[in-house]
Structures are given as structure tokens and as C-alpha cells.
Structure 1
Amino acid sequence: MTQNSENTLKVAQQAFENLTHGMATGEWEALLDMLSEDFTLWFPMGKFHGLNVGKDRAREFFEYVSQAFTPSLKLTALDRVTSSETTAVFEFRDEGLLFGEPYKNRVAVSFDVRGDKICGYREYFGSDGKSY
């Protein structure tokens, strides 16, 4: 593993910890602090479908996640982590209540890393239950 690969994985692992903390608590500041000014977010459906640009849009997205999954969304298993020089992908399972209805899913999130910042986030889901 090269030094760039090690840094990418280290930064992405911290971002993933901050993501799961936000999912469980609704506290997103630690993750938002890691985002670059030119941050991009890609989401597969709904209000945030497609490409979203900027930290303000990211804040809106993560606040929406907290509203959709009140009281919280819990990580139940981390199945795989794959990383390269610039990107790390986390495949996991989560569950909770989605707008008050039981929710359970398999998800993959991809973090693009530049230096000590997250410059891109992509999310893919949909095999175990309702999607948001």
C-alpha cells in the first residue's frame, strides 16, 4: 500500500466514523468539517437525486437524513472496505425507522479524498428494503 493509499484510507475511515455517528445522533458537524469547499455529493433518488455541489447542499442532505430517520439510523454490519489512491468504498447494512416505517438496507458509500479532506461522496443502496 502506498503512502497516498494509506492516507486515503485513514481520512475515509474517519469520515465513515463521522457519517455513522451522524446517522445515530443527527450530529453532522464533524463530517461537514471534513468536506472540501468544492465538495460534490451524488445520491440515487428523491429530493437530492443526482449531483449536488457544495458544503451547504451537503448540510441540507445530512439534515434531511436526520429528519427521514428519526430517531436514528443504526449501522448493523460493515461488510467490506475497498480503497485506492483517491477513493474508499464502505459496504454496510443499516436499519431504523424511515418516516416512522421499519427500514433495513444494504448500502455502499464512496468517499473521494484529497489531502485531509473529503471532496466527493456517492451513495448506492436498495437491496434489503425500503429506500429513501
Structure 2
Amino acid sequence: MNELTMKVAQQAFAAFARGLATGDFQPFFAMLTDEFTFWYPYGKYRGKFTGQEGKARIVAKCHDHMQAGDRLTFSPPHHITSSDTTVMFEFECKGVIRQQPYQGRIAIALDVSGEKISGLREYFGDVD
């Protein structure tokens, strides 16, 4: 395990969680590299996007959450798995998405490059 990778990933995870809880994603956006890989399994943002398009997609997705008034609260992670460049967080999530109650189990993998996040992959269940 790389201590810097873990530290940066934990900071980014906390910033992303705060963004979904409050609608303020700016601290999370500040941690992203310009060249970014974003993978999402569902809906409008489904697919794998790389480079500047990847960053634009994650920013757009977060803005969509802000504009919709989505608010989610993350539990402390149940499991954290890491390598030298990636940290995976598994956790529970609950709140409101698309003006509907939501509760589910989620896993987010964050790729770390130096002191920035260069990728995010999200996996979840209980999607209607």
C-alpha cells in the first residue's frame, strides 16, 4: 500500500461525499487531473470516457446532481482495498435522487496520480 495514494484517495472520497451531501463539489473538482478517466454503469453517463471528455463528464454528472437537488449521505466505508495507484471504497448510501428516496450499496474506485485523482469508477446496485 502506498501511503500517499491512500491519503489522497481518502481526501477525494470525503470531498465527493460532501459534494453529494451538500451540493458543493468544488473541493472535489480541485483534486481532479485534466486528463481523467470516468466510468459509470447506468443512465445518461453510462460508459467509459477518458481525457478531457472524462473530466467533463464527471463534472457534468456532479452539476446534474446539484441542479436536481439530489442529496446523499455516505456511511463510513465497510471495506477499503488499495494498490499503489487505486483505492476502492465500499459503503452504504442513502438520501434522495431524482426527488425519490434512494438507499443502496456502492463501490467507488479512485485512481491516484501524485496528489490528484486521475480516474473514478462507480459500481452500485438497486437501480430502478
TM-score by length of 1: 0.87
* RMSD, matched Cα: 1.5
Task: Look up the SS of the partner of 1:78 in the other structure.
Answer: coil
- Gap runs ≥5 in structure 1: none
Residue 111 in 1 paired to residue 98 in 2? no
Letter in 2 for 1:79: H
Report what 1:33 is aligned to.
30
Report what 1:101 is aligned to.
100
Report what 2:46 is aligned to.
49
Residues 74 and 95 in structure 1, CA contact (< 8 A), matched pair in contact too: yes
Report what 1:60 is aligned to.
60
Give the length in aligned residue pairs: 125
Deviation at 1:58, TM superposition (A): 1.9
Deviating 4+ runs (over 3 angstroms)? none
TM-score by length of 2: 0.90
**Deviation sequence 1:29-50 (CA, Å, 0-9, x none):** 1111111111111000111001
Letter in 2 for 1:66: M
Residues 77 and 94 in structure 1, CA contact (< 8 A), matched pair in contact too: no
C-alpha distance in structure 2 between counterparts of 1:76 and 1:14, whole Å: 15
Deviation at 1:104, TM superposition (A): 0.3
C-alpha distance in structure 2 between counterparts of 1:22 and 1:57, whole Å: 16
Task: Look up the SS of the partner of 2:8 in the other structure.
Answer: helix
- Calculate percent identity across the aligned residue pairs: 42
Residue 21 in 1 paired to residue 38 in 2? no
Does the C-alpha gap of structure 1 residues 77 and 117 become closer, same or farther in structure 2, counting only changes over 3 Å? closer
Residues 21 and 27 in structure 1, CA contact (< 8 A), matched pair in contact too: yes
Report what 1:81 is aligned to.
80
